[in-house]
Chain A
Amino acid sequence: MKTIVRSGLKALALGALLMSSTGLAQAEVKELRMIEAGGPSGESIEVGYIKPFTEKTGIKVVRESPAGLGKLRAMVEAKNVTSALNELSSAEYEQAKALDLLEELDWEAINPDPIYDEAKQDKGLGWQYYSTILAWRDDAKPLNGWKDLWDVENFPGKRALPDYPAYILPMALIADGVEPKDLYPLDLDRAFKKLEELKDHVAVWWQAGAQPPQLLKDNEVQYAVAWSGRVTDEPGINYTFNEGQLDLTFFGVPKGIDPEQKAAAMKLLHEVTVAKNQAAAANVVSYTGPSTELDPLLPQDRLDKFPTASKNKAVQFMMDPKWWYDHADEVEQRWQEFKLGL
């Protein structure tokens, strides 16, 4: 009897201890901070992933934008990591790995639902597909590929192109007759030469994703190269995914983060892999998550707006972040040089 009581007491004490320790752990991580790109994409994180995460864990998530490698580097080098998750473009992810700015992800803790392999990396979770595509005003003659964008005789009008080499140089090569599968290693000389042909018809080289839809609506330009989520839902703007460049954006955890914070971040990353949550996020902005089971959950009448809808994925090409990382300096110098000659 005595022993039963004693062991019962022991169990109680252990239980109390366990409870207090889990209580303590919860008390420690009350808030998680993340840096993301902002805009409608940030809203989609809130609706799709943060909401279910906070409901389950009680942890509040504070979003901050815009993202950038500079912020990540500053945080890690100052040994003052204030955000648990950082959004990175695929090329930035390569760069961040090379600079040793990221923690290994704990995939066991993330316990992901089925997602595409390319999204499952040692130090990053590819969370959002987006495309760089052709868009035009409804009253302009429809285009069907990069050759048409360069064909100013048959498709007259001003153009708005990205002020980012990685989002336009591959397109220039395709317009010049290179097959998408043969793009890499990229022939920079040929790409810049092709771009020279078009430069007089380019009104604006844009930096912010919000610019092309606005420029199209204001009739400042008739054709634009734009990020898909910014144009597919805009009235008055038409688009095609044909020959679009498909890319994946990552979440990474800054090196030197507090372990409790990291553990909480892994739980948030789990929510990111859930197909149902991705569908909710895709409702806010027409970008899609990495789930392999997403298509049936998306609104079927809007399926043609999503970058990874199988019909769209089939006609696009993937960008090669490794190549862009390896040639970052050379490309940037040549890009500035090119723009000085405009």
Chain B
Amino acid sequence: MSDIVSETVPPQKRPFSMPQGLGQLIPAAVFLLLLFNLPILMMLGWSIGPEGDAFKHYAALAKGSVYMKVLGNTMYIAVLTTLACCVLGYPLAYWMWRLSPRGQMIALGLVVLTFWISILVRTYAWIVVLGNDGIVNRTLKYLGLTENSVAFLYNQVGVIIGTTNVLLPFLVLPLFAAMLKLDKRVLQAAESMGASPSTIFFRIFFPLTIPALAAGAILVFILTLGFFITPAILGGGRVPMIANMLDTLVNRMPRWELAAAISTALLVFTLVFYAAYQWVEKKSRIQ
């Protein structure tokens, strides 16, 4: 199979040369350095010290197990959100891929449309739908299926519904793009050799889209780590996530040193996942 791919899609060969227009990059680089990198370095500085006990705040972080637990809880929510996005997003992207070009445009428009509505409104709207006195619960009660309201919201399920709702396009759009780039002749070749539709899907189509799926999944995972509004509203305040805790430490306490240590730890985690994303993404492009 890989032979066919390499024959139909010749690998691009780019001669190595000094990047052109390096000079034009300087303003942007200075801008980023001053307004982005420098503040991050200052944050790193806050997390270190006082003199003689450089890692005091990191020690406090490791010892005050509650902060690590919240960080762990955040990762857990992110994993579940990623799984939910994959399970919902892959069939959606696949279905879109099989539509006529016109249908694809419409479906794509519907997916992108969600970006037009404020995340706050979309999050709050879930209360109207799934709340204790929302449409779903009232219908269930009316039908006599349940006597007490089903707790869809104000727990982990509520948070995951919210994050998945917001992040699904981030998985679907790149995945769909990758599917479009797939060489259909590969699939036709398999079909002409008598492979069944399920064989074609599981042995050719799916493996070829795994890198894009993995890249989208890592992206969703990273983005979930920073969610703030969703846990505050749909979590009912009972699903502690790291962004909300940082808000408390920065704005209310204000314990900037500890917040800086937590942020640095989070940054390191995120960079590791970002490196993984880059690696996977690059691999998917080569294929």
In the complex, residue of chain B having the shortest beta-carbon distance to the beta carbon of A161:
B237
Q: Are A69 and B252 in contact (CB under 8 A)?
A: yes
Q: Are A220 and B133 in contact (CB under 8 A)?
A: yes
Known: A339-B237, A340-B69. A332 touches B248 (CB 8 A): yes
Q: Does B238 contact A (CB under 8 A)?
A: yes
In the complex, A163 Cα to B245 Cα: how many Å? 12
Q: Which residues of B sit under 8 angstroms from A203, Cβ to Cβ? A: 132, 151, 154, 236
Query: CB-CB contacts of B127-151 with A at 8 A, as 1s and 0s?
Result: 1100111000000000000000001
Q: Are A328 and B240 in contact (CB under 8 A)?
A: no
Q: Tell me which of B64, B131, B248 contacts A218 (CB under 8 A).
A: B131
Q: Does A71 contact B (CB under 8 A)?
A: yes
Number of A-B pairs whose CB atoms are under 8 Å? 68
Q: Are B236 and A71 in contact (CB under 8 A)?
A: no
Query: CB-CB contacts of A197-225 with B at 8 A, as 1s and 0s?
Result: 00000111111000000000011110000
Q: Are B236 and A340 in contact (CB under 8 A)?
A: no
Q: Tell me which of A69, A70, A336 contacts B245 (CB under 8 A).
A: A336
Within 8 A of A (CB), among B236-287: 236-238, 240, 245, 248, 250-256
Known: A163-B237, A340-B70. A219 touches B252 (CB 8 A): no
Q: Does A68 contact B (CB under 8 A)?
A: yes
Known: A69-B252, A70-B251, A70-B252. A206 touches B133 (CB 8 A): no
Query: CB-CB contacts of B70-85 with A at 8 A, as 1s and 0s?
Result: 1001000000000000
Q: Does A300 contact B (CB under 8 A)?
A: no
Q: Are A218 and B73 in contact (CB under 8 A)?
A: no
Q: Does A73 contact B (CB under 8 A)?
A: yes
In the complex, A342 Cα to B250 Cα: how many Å? 24
Query: CB-CB contacts of B182-211 with A at 8 A, as 1s and 0s?
Result: 000000000000000000000000000000
Q: Which residues of B sit under 8 angstroms from A221, Cβ to Cβ? A: 132
Q: Tell me which of A69, A158, A207 contacts B254 (CB under 8 A).
A: A69
Q: Does B1 contact A (CB under 8 A)?
A: no
Q: Which residues of B sit under 8 angstroms from A158, Cβ to Cβ? A: 132
Q: Are B251 and A220 in contact (CB under 8 A)?
A: no
Within 8 A of B (CB), among A213-249: 218-221
Within 8 A of B (CB), among A165-209: 202-207
Q: Does A337 contact B (CB under 8 A)?
A: yes
Q: Which residues of B sit under 8 angstroms from A73, Cβ to Cβ? A: 254, 256
Q: Are B237 and A204 in contact (CB under 8 A)?
A: yes
Q: Does B66 contact A (CB under 8 A)?
A: yes
The interface on chain A, measured as residues whose beta carbon lies within 8 A of the other chain's beta carbons, has a size of 28
Q: Does A3 contact B (CB under 8 A)?
A: no
Q: Are A339 and B154 in contact (CB under 8 A)?
A: no
Q: Tell me which of B133, B238, B251, B252 contacts A339 (CB under 8 A).
A: B238
Q: Tell me which of A69, A204, A340, A342 contacts B251 (CB under 8 A).
A: A69
In the complex, residue of chain B having the shortest beta-carbon distance to the beta carbon of A71:
B251
Within 8 A of B (CB), among A304-340: 328-329, 332-333, 336-337, 339-340
Q: Does B166 contact A (CB under 8 A)?
A: no
In the complex, A221 Cα to B237 Cα: how many Å? 14
Q: Does B157 contact A (CB under 8 A)?
A: no
Q: Which residues of B sit under 8 angstroms from A70, Cβ to Cβ? A: 250-252, 254, 256
Within 8 A of B (CB), among A247-280: none
Q: Which residues of B sit under 8 angstroms from A342, Cβ to Cβ? A: 238
Nearest chain A CB to B67 CB, angstrom units: 8
Known: A68-B251, A68-B252, A71-B251. A219 touches B237 (CB 8 A): no
Q: Are A206 and B251 in contact (CB under 8 A)?
A: no
- The residue in A70, A73, A221 that gathers the most chain B C-beta atoms within 10 A of its C-beta is A70
- The residue in A71, A204, A206, A342 that gathers the most chain B C-beta atoms within 10 A of its C-beta is A204
Nearest chain A CB to B109 CB, angstrom units: 32
Within 8 A of A (CB), among B14-67: 64, 66-67
Q: Which residues of A sit under 8 angstroms from B69, Cβ to Cβ? A: 340
Q: Are A218 and B232 in contact (CB under 8 A)?
A: no
Q: Which residues of A sit under 8 angstroms from B132, Cβ to Cβ? A: 158, 203, 219-221
Q: Which residues of B sit under 8 angstroms from A337, Cβ to Cβ? A: 66
Q: Which residues of B sit under 8 angstroms from A340, Cβ to Cβ? A: 66, 69-70, 73, 240
Enumerate 26 A-B pairs (CB-CB under 8 Å) in ascending A order.
A69-B252, A70-B252, A70-B256, A71-B251, A73-B254, A73-B256, A92-B252, A158-B132, A163-B237, A203-B132, A203-B236, A204-B237, A205-B238, A207-B237, A218-B128, A218-B131, A218-B133, A219-B132, A219-B133, A220-B127, A220-B131, A328-B253, A336-B70, A336-B245, A337-B66, A340-B69
| Shortest 4 CB-CB contacts between residues of A and residues of B | A205-B237, A219-B133, A70-B251, A68-B251
Instruction: Give 4 A-B pairs besides A203-B154, A340-B70, A340-B240 with Cβ atoms closer than 8 angstroms.
Output: A69-B254, A329-B255, A332-B248, A337-B66
Question: Could you tell me which A residues sit within 8 Å of B by CB distance?
Answer: 68-71, 73, 92, 95, 158, 163, 202-207, 218-221, 328-329, 332-333, 336-337, 339-340, 342
